[in-house]
Structure 1
Amino acid sequence: MLGKAFKKLRRDLAFRHGRRLRQFNYWLVARAAMAIISVLRLLPVDSALNFADRVARRIGPWVGRHDVAIDNLRKAYPEKSEGEIQAIASDMWGNMARLAAEYIFLDALFDFDPASAKPGRVEVKGVDHFVQIAGEEKPHIIFTGHLGNFELLPVAAATFGMNITALFRPPNNPYLAEYILSTRRSTMGSLLPSSTGASFALAGILEKGGNIGVLVDQKFSGGLETTFFGRPCESNRILATLARHYDCDVYPARCVRLPGNRFRLDIEDRLTLPRTAGGSVDVQGTTQLLNDVVERWVREDPGQWMWFHKRWEISGRRRKRQQARQHGEAA
């Protein structure tokens, strides 16, 4: 009896004060994050990044999302031993911590100079593609995934004079979102928050001959039925739809984290997109092609991707349709 009353009281409090409690929690987390950032700023760049890596590898296994990451890794790599799976997860946490800490030092990290023969922290593969895209007066789409420090790609684009608008998803925490957005805008040029109406904004940019950058490796509820690592998932069709409508060139680009706090930015050759019998871009085939490209990248550097993301989670409505279809086939 008392247990039921306590649960009811907790639900009532959550209903009445849930928003305030959530905002307070956001504020508390942001204050803690900013305190850590203040400490890291006092350290040399390499010391700060290495420290963040070490701490994350210790804390990561205690975070709830660690179980999600391990489950995803086991299903993606059934041939790997448990030790190998745990090692990849540890690398992932180290990579995510470095990414967070690198926001503080973006200006210091990106030292690539196209006119200099002296190597720095950042090397660029596919310079000719950057130069070509920047010089062409027509729309382009550049896509990437959450690999390495993907935030360095728009910085590189700006270095080559490329006018590009990057679509991004702000954190749920409004206090952290404000900090991250201000940091990004100072180094990355135009940014477009991922929200209702973003697809129309992207279309408007391409309509004017601009370039857009899009991350394509997240779950999209109600998206196209595709596969990733051989498992069903839902993917956003927006990039393929825009490519079909504007018939624009699509380029894959990624960041690879190298030893010694160094990076390689790689913009690959223009994709040959699948076409329908009528000659237009095949939206389903193109969306799957994007998944295949990102899967290749992840297989090459599995510890640099965010395995804790619920990429393979299928919406309830679609799951019911799949079950009904399977039941009909079995009958």
Structure 2
Amino acid sequence: MARRTETARWLRRHVGYPLEAIPLLTIHTLFRLLPLDVASRLGGWLGRTIGPRLAASRKARRNLERALPELTPERRESILVGMWDNLGRVFAEYPHLDEIWRRTEVVGADIVRGLAAAKTPALFFSAHIGNWELNLMGATRNGLPVTAVYRRPNNPAASRMIDRSRSVIGSKLVPKGRDGAKEVLATLRNRGAVCMLVDQKMNDGIPVPFFGRDAMTAPAIAQLAYRYDCAVVPAVVERVEGTRFRLTISPPLELGGTGDKEADVRSVMSHINGMIEDWVRARPEQWLWLHRRWPD
């Protein structure tokens, strides 16, 4: 059994991943050669044409039914199609991040510059809305180096492709896991800034309401904020139209504290989940409904 498992892993890595990478890299190269607007429109068309037919859409439809039961099935289906359009555009826009930044309106840039000048340790949080890569650029392009935590794709070729595209952002990218956690702690100890996308399920997280139902939520941002006396800064990207975006950076949250560590962490995470819910309700087509956010 162990030998069969090892053989399957070897085939996956040396045969499966390269075969997966060929079409992925081909499409990525095409998007890089096309003008930004053309690439984004093509990516959106591919997303909304193919995405709703994929098995992953079953999970998204279930999430929409749970989160937005008051909507008609037709409206939920239009949100699903819009989500795939946005996701296809995000993929197509990876080779054009520099140009996209020049088309982004930034609200609250003075907040970032103030944190950079004061050398205040900061935790930026956001969600998979709009083109979420612009969250990092909002910090780095306003004088604040940032360490960002991300999940590295299983396919090494896909991982290298995305890393090359992200190189223009100027942030330090660290993968989830023990090594990434060490980098985050070192950054905060040195009064630096960290950016986290906090809208994904964490199996060993804490249950916190999200769209009226408990969702397993990573409490790390609240725990780190209290431990290192960090500013906790909301940031959200909206696709305004086509390849034009708005990045809104809000003032740091008022954390407060009762002395009950567990209750304080839960309170902060409830507030954060509430903010993300408001963002999603405002632009439901732009959130990534594919995550397994709630327990089955």
Letter in 1 for 2:8: G
Contact map agreement 2:40 2:242 (CA 8 A) in 1: no
Higher RCO (CA-CA < 8 Å; seq separation 6+): 2
Contact map agreement 1:244 1:282 (CA 8 A) in 2: no
Aligned-partner Cα distance in 1 for 2:262–2:217: 20
Percent identity, please.
35
Aligned to 2:19: 28
Aligned to 2:221: 239
Q: How does 1:212-223 map to 2 (within 5 A)?
A: 212-223=194-205
SS in structure 1 opposite 2:131?
coil
Q: Which runs of 5+ in 1 are unaligned?
A: 1-10, 112-120, 315-331
Aligned to 1:162: 144
Question: Does residue 196 of the first structure (1) align with residue 178 of the second (2)?
Answer: yes
Aligned to 2:264: 282
Letter in 2 for 1:98: R
Deviates more, 1:261-270 or 1:129-138: 129-138
Q: How does 1:1-331 map to 2 (within 5 A)?
A: 15=5, 17-23=7-13, 24-111=15-102, 121-277=103-259, 282-313=264-295
Aligned-partner Cα distance in 2 for 1:235–1:279: 16
- Closer, same or farther: CA 81–249 of 1 in aligned 2, 3 Å: same
SS in structure 1 opposite 2:236?
strand
Deviates more, 1:90-99 or 1:272-281: 272-281
Shift of 1:274: 4.5
Deviations 1:218-248 (A, max 9, x none): 1111111212111122111111110011121
Shift of 1:40: 2.1
Contact map agreement 1:164 1:212 (CA 8 A) in 2: yes
Letter in 1 for 2:280: V
Contact map agreement 1:218 1:309 (CA 8 A) in 2: yes
Aligned length: 295
**Root-mean-square deviation over aligned CA pairs:** 2.0
TM-score scaled by structure 2? 0.94
> Moved runs in structure 1, 4+ residues, more than 6 A?
278-281
SS in structure 2 opposite 1:187?
coil
Contact map agreement 1:274 1:281 (CA 8 A) in 2: no
Shift of 1:278: 6.3
Contact map agreement 1:244 1:280 (CA 8 A) in 2: no
Letter in 2 for 1:237: P
Letter in 1 for 2:51: G
- Closer, same or farther: CA 14–292 of 1 in aligned 2, 3 Å: farther
SS in structure 2 opposite 1:313?
coil
Aligned-partner Cα distance in 1 for 2:120–2:199: 26
- Closer, same or farther: CA 226–278 of 1 in aligned 2, 3 Å: closer
SS in structure 2 opposite 1:282?
helix
Shift of 1:293: 1.1
Q: Which has the larger radius of gyration?
A: 1
Contact map agreement 1:224 1:235 (CA 8 A) in 2: yes
Q: Which runs of 5+ in 2 are unaligned?
A: none
- Closer, same or farther: CA 13–79 of 1 in aligned 2, 3 Å: farther
SS in structure 2 opposite 1:74?
helix
Shift of 1:147: 0.6
Shift of 1:301: 0.5
- Closer, same or farther: CA 74–279 of 1 in aligned 2, 3 Å: closer
Aligned-partner Cα distance in 2 for 1:13–1:203: 39
Aligned-partner Cα distance in 1 for 2:109–2:41: 29
Aligned-partner Cα distance in 2 for 1:237–1:212: 15
Contact map agreement 1:274 1:286 (CA 8 A) in 2: no
SS in structure 2 opposite 1:298?
helix
TM-score scaled by structure 1? 0.84
Aligned-partner Cα distance in 2 for 1:163–1:45: 26
